[in-house]
Amino acid sequence: MKPCTNRFLLGLGLALCLLASGCAAPAPTPTAVVPTAAAPSAPTNQPNPTIMPTIPPTSAPTVPAPAAAEWLLTSPAFAPEGAIPKDYSCLGADRSPALAWGAPPAGTLSLALVMDDPDAVPVAGYVWDHWVIFNLPPEAQGLPEGLGRGAQLPDGSQQGLNSFRQLGYDGPCPPAGQSHRYVFRLYALDTRLTLGDKTSKADLLQAAEGHILAQTELAGVFPAP
């Protein structure tokens, strides 16, 4: 037999043997796959909103402004809401009481003062004015007792007309059997007023409108005579 024929028969016999014995050709060995790491992405300046909460920007701290000191009007003659002594009324010497106050607000160019009697309305039909004084110098921090009745005072301030149609101060003078409450009001103005010696309280307040930087008041009671 020729060699090629022998090789053919040998291969055919091997194939028949494998079929008869149920043998299968061995499976090829799997090649392990090594996972490739993903390349890192370029960094970004913005946070990912899906994984980081949004934080509102922080504003600069606010420094609270210092509280302005309280501006007080006082008198050594009587306590606030206290009894006004007889000497400062029409039943006594009718002198103006001494008054005191602290430094006015910055920008003050003049001071003005009025004294009136709101309890006179049922009797007179209107608030009775007892004292009108204006263009007090801003550095003044009080008035002495017993100012005169002149229209012009030594410190440059001026006095207007009260409801008695008098210049200067006229003290408490309520009807017999009545106690009235008298109010002193002090105004800090950002201007000097150009007013004459016939100035009333209404004239003063009208001229001061829009110029009042601060105001303070002191009230006292004159007991029923």
**Residues 184 and 112 sit within 8 Å (Cβ to Cβ):** no
**Residues 187 and 215 sit within 8 Å (Cβ to Cβ):** yes
Q: What is the DSSP track for 164-195?
A: TS-BS-----PPTT--EEEEEEEEEESS----
pTM, 2 dp: 0.69
Question: What percent of the chain is predicted at pLDDT more than 90?
Answer: 64
CA–CA dist 104, 156 (Å, integer)? 18
Dihedrals φ, ψ of 101, to 5°? -155, 165
For 134-158, how does the pLDDT look when each residue is reduced to its tens digit (9 = 90+)? 999 999 999 999 999 899 999 999 9
Strands 128-136 and 158-159: antiparallel
Determine the pLDDT at residue 169.
98
Token output for 80: 């606030």
For 59-91, how does the pLDDT look when each residue is reduced to its tens digit (9 = 90+)? 333 333 333 458 999 999 999 999 999 999 999
Determine the pLDDT at residue 42.
45
Domains in the chain, start-ordered, CATH in brackets?
Answer: 73-222 (3.90.280.10)
CA–CA dist 115, 78 (Å, integer)? 15
3-class DSSP assignment, residue 109: coil
Distances from the Cα of 184 to the Cα of 81, 140, 147, 172, 220, angstroms: 11, 16, 15, 12, 9
Token output for 146: 């017993």
Chunked in runs of 10, what are the mean pLDDT values of the chain (225 residues)?
A: 44 43 45 45 42 37 45 97 97 97 97 98 96 97 94 94 97 95 98 94 97 97 88
| Mean pLDDT, the chain, whole residue set | 79
**Residues 161 and 199 sit within 8 Å (Cβ to Cβ):** yes
With tokens 């007792």, the residue in question is 145
In the chain, DSSP assigns E strands to: 73-74, 99-101, 110-117, 128-136, 142-143, 158-159, 180-189, 212-222
Question: What percent of the chain is predicted at pLDDT more than 70?
Answer: 69
